[in-house]
Amino acid sequence: MTLRDGRLISKREALEVLAQLDAPAEVVRDIYRRRYEAVQPISGRWRFQRAHLARAFVQAAIPRVLA
């Protein structure tokens, strides 16, 4: 992974790393679908929920990753 060995990874690999770091599965799936599949516009409700889930994950993951 990038922080361990200084190697850049692809966006697809980054999604796998997010899953390994216990990122919210629905957020990882949404990122994958929006990047690699044709998707419909998302609702404001899901956009808000996705932001909340992502923010909570990042706040909890930063200390773990940097430890």
Cβ contact 12:28 at 8 Å:
no
Retrieve residue 15's tokens. Answer: 């999604």
What percent of the chain is modeled with pLDDT above 90? 54
pLDDT tens digits, 29-51: 999 999 999 778 889 999 999 99
* Element at 40 (helix H, strand E): none
Report H helices in 1-67.
2-5, 11-20, 25-36, 44-66
Given a cut of 60, is residue 1 above it in pLDDT?
no
Mean pLDDT of 54-59: 95
Tell me how crowded residue 29 is: count the other CB atoms within 10 A of its CB.
12
What is the model's pTM?
0.77
